[in-house]
Amino acid sequence: MDTINPNLIILLGCLVPGLMTGLGALPIFATKNVSQGLLDTLLGSAAGVMLAATCFSLILPSIEYGGGNLQAVLITSLGLFFGAYLIDLIDRYAPHEHLIDKKVEGKNTDSLKEIWLFIIAITIHNFPEGLATGVGFGTDSLKNGITIALGIGLQNMPEGLAVALALVRERYSTKKAFLIALFTGLVEPIGAFLGIFLVQIFQPILPFILALAGGAMLFVISDEIIPETHSNGYERQATYGIIIGFIVMMVLDVTLG
């Protein structure tokens, strides 16, 4: 790792997690019969991976960079709240369609074409993940960025499969479903590069920015992923998936460290 150009690592770290969404969608070319129980378990493990990456690579570093004292904890808490609230505002007021359960949220959605509902939903769901990756790489520790990128990449694979399957069930062609699933991940590098920019420009408030990204991630996990995995009758499998995913990411975090 020491012999590789750090800028190359950062570039790949921002791009590869998004591409892994398409990698996860590839099985639809072989079969469309993926059981809901397996899908919920995979998505649950993805939530666990994201949760661990958020804790170990965003929240804990935020406290550490802030000085590790009560003031640092308060700054981190404030960042977490505002990060979650920011995504909540976007989720509440931007008309969009949840890809898995097909519920529509927002105002005046009747005038929007279906494809734009998909694009808006994709942006809401994946942008904060990309932002978190960029913020991780924007610190002086490549390990944080690599951990988050790895976690989000692993999370994107079952999510890509879930999106592609949902589209195929809505009579999209396999090719089109794959391309749209791939596109959902390609939104993430935009957030990643923005995250790097924010950290470089606002270095004095790095603890707050790390926590802001962490709060955004926590909101996505709680509001989007976990409800999707616990609404089809496979709650127990999904819960164990979350626990296993968290453990796997925790082990990887220690190994990378």
* pLDDT tens, residue by residue, 90-148: 777 765 555 455 454 554 444 335 545 655 666 666 788 888 888 888 876 788 888 88
The pLDDT value given to residue 111 = 35
The CA-based diameter of the chain, rounded to the nearest angstrom, is 55
User: Which of 104-108, 187-191, 228-232 is the least confident region?
Assistant: 104-108
Q: What tokens does 44 get?
A: 């649950």
As a whole number of angstroms, the distance between CA 136 and CA 121 comes to 24
The pLDDT value given to residue 114 = 53
Q: Find the helix or strand (DSSP H, E) in which 193 lies.
A: helix 188-201
59 close to 132: Cβ distance less than 8 angstroms:
no
Q: What tokens does 253 get?
A: 């975090």
Q: How many CA atoms lie within 13 A of 207 on its CB side?
A: 17
What average pLDDT is seen over the chain?
82
The pLDDT value given to residue 109 = 46
In whole angstroms, how far apart are CA 10 and each of 115, 144, 195, 200, 229? 32, 11, 12, 14, 32
For residues 210-219, give the mean pLDDT. 91
85 close to 77: Cβ distance less than 8 angstroms:
no
69 close to 75: Cβ distance less than 8 angstroms:
no
One-letter amino acid at 76 equals T
As a whole number of angstroms, the distance between CA 76 and CA 208 comes to 6
Please give the full DSSP string across 112-152, using - where no structure is assigned.
S-HHHHHHHHHHHHHHHHHHHHHHHHHSS-HHHHHHHHHHH
pLDDT in tens, 18-44: 899 899 989 888 877 788 898 899 889
Q: Find the helix or strand (DSSP H, E) in which 105 lies.
A: strand 104-105
